[in-house]
Chain A
């Protein structure tokens, strides 16, 4: 409860900060302090040291898994603000309001990590989405930003409608705003979902796939990620996406297996995973703009994260946490560098190693982590995902296909590295300060540290 209340309050504070503070960098500093407070409040809540306790009438269920993810999300947002806060100030005139919306998104994140029942899931998804529609259109003079915002809003509302339809059908079938209340078959004594409920779950599944941009519901992702101001794309592609997966995993966590015939669900999920990996990786190969390539690569990464849903066991839970850490760190870092580049194409990175060696080397670490090369956090993240699927009895071909696509992804990540190190050019960048470089080095160091000792993340989870 700490996280939900504190993030909501901080959102209100940031809303008024624009009136009191005229200096934009002061607003950024305030937001960073707020995020630190939020992180501390959540950690205190996780260990039960100081908890705001409210009778939630079983609407929210606070578990270690969700609260630990809150910490990851808040820490990632803190790093994001420290790295890209200066760029956020330049995006529009409403800096305070943008931070307020980011805090509201974090409120949605903490609801999604603790919802118990579909009603709170719906509220969490909406609180997560609505601020994003606005942040996408923050660059009001840019037509592409407007288009992306409108597209995201229309498609997002449509998928929300589908989710509501699914929830309605589930309620109509069982009388509960929750999964796992299927009627018991008298002859066998097992719970067995009725067709009404299965149809509802299918619709719910489709709309959740939309929110995490899994194929075949991914069509909005490239346009929205490409059109939105890069600062907000960075936030959307990392914290928001990871929390969508946490909600997805928690939704099917305990009840995934009692929903009727098991093989059918894994077949459906297997199809979605393969389609997501295929679309994301193959299309990313043909992109000319690094930003658009990252949008497609985020679809491809979503394909890997879906393995947590497929696995649906303890290993999958550990894996999705590790994946969130690795993916958030690497993507926030890459976007922070990308924002400072004047040219977003691959050629824009030509010769970066000569002019900005620190940026080039840290960017290389981030890209290697996304590709899943050993000694980076991304490797163990991918390993845990596949291991959980194997443990859950996935057929070997699914894992082999995933590994092949991971190899494909190396191609387009290495194109950036190749441009930075082996091509000549004079890349124009915005001025880069020492603090920015230090933050990048810190993040790269964290990635390597977690790549060598993934138990540091998981140890903190079980501590």
Chain B
């Protein structure tokens, strides 16, 4: 087992474990902290795939900015176990059934994928994740979606102003 493989399995185990902990943590603040751990593990995967730029962006945007916002919102809302609304029995049952259906689909998907076990991720190879190549792809093949995203951000900004402005 090479070093990269050991790293890969360690990061995968860390990601899955942290993701489970996000769900089972009682305190929302702990959930957010575990979520940050998930993002770090995934960023590690990006580095293994030779996509350093993506790894850094993932850390800055998700683990940095968005998670700080999450923490702020949770602290402002002052959530704790007492204020948590009681979930209805039927709701829980429906959640278990629909979630279980999705689990069956995903598990059988992995089992039925004939060519999946033979493939592992290309580690230390491929250079599409490097910032230069990414920039070239973004401004040649994907320039139309890249530019159209600006409409999306513009509408989100207008919306933020509309909602935040005093009447």
Contact = CB atoms under 8 A, between A and B. Distances in A.
B6 interface: no
Contacts of B105: 199, 202
Given A60-B144, A131-B159, A134-B163, A196 B154 contact: no
A264 interface: no
A111 interface: yes
Contacts, number: 90
A366 B142 CA distance: 44
A177 to B, nearest CB: 10
Interface string B125-151: 000000000000000111111001101
A94 B165 contact: yes
A123 B153 CA distance: 11
A82 B108 CA distance: 54
A131 B152 CA distance: 9
Most chain A Cβ neighbours within 10 Å, of B141, B155, B162, B167:
B155
Interface stretch (A4-12, A282-290, A304-312, A374-382): A4-12
B78 interface: no
A101 B155 CA distance: 6
B83 interface: no
Contact of A137 (B149, B163, B165, B167): B163
A92 interface: yes
Contact of A127 (B151, B165, B167): B151
Interface stretch (A23-31, A51-59, A229-237, A334-342): A51-59
Nearest to B141: A57
A100 B158 contact: yes
B16 interface: no
Interface in A42-70: 54, 56-57, 59-60
Nearest to B149: A123
Given A57-B144, A137-B163, A104 B151 contact: yes
17 contacts: A4-B148, A59-B144, A97-B162, A104-B151, A104-B155, A104-B158, A107-B151, A120-B148, A123-B145, A130-B156, A134-B158, A134-B159, A140-B167, A141-B167, A196-B113, A198-B109, A199-B105
Interface of B: 105-106, 108-109, 112-114, 116, 140-145, 148-149, 151-152, 154-156, 158-159, 161-163, 165, 167
A-B interface, 8 closest residue pairs, ranked by CB to CB distance from nearest: A134-B159, A195-B112, A104-B155, A199-B109, A59-B144, A56-B144, A131-B155, A97-B162
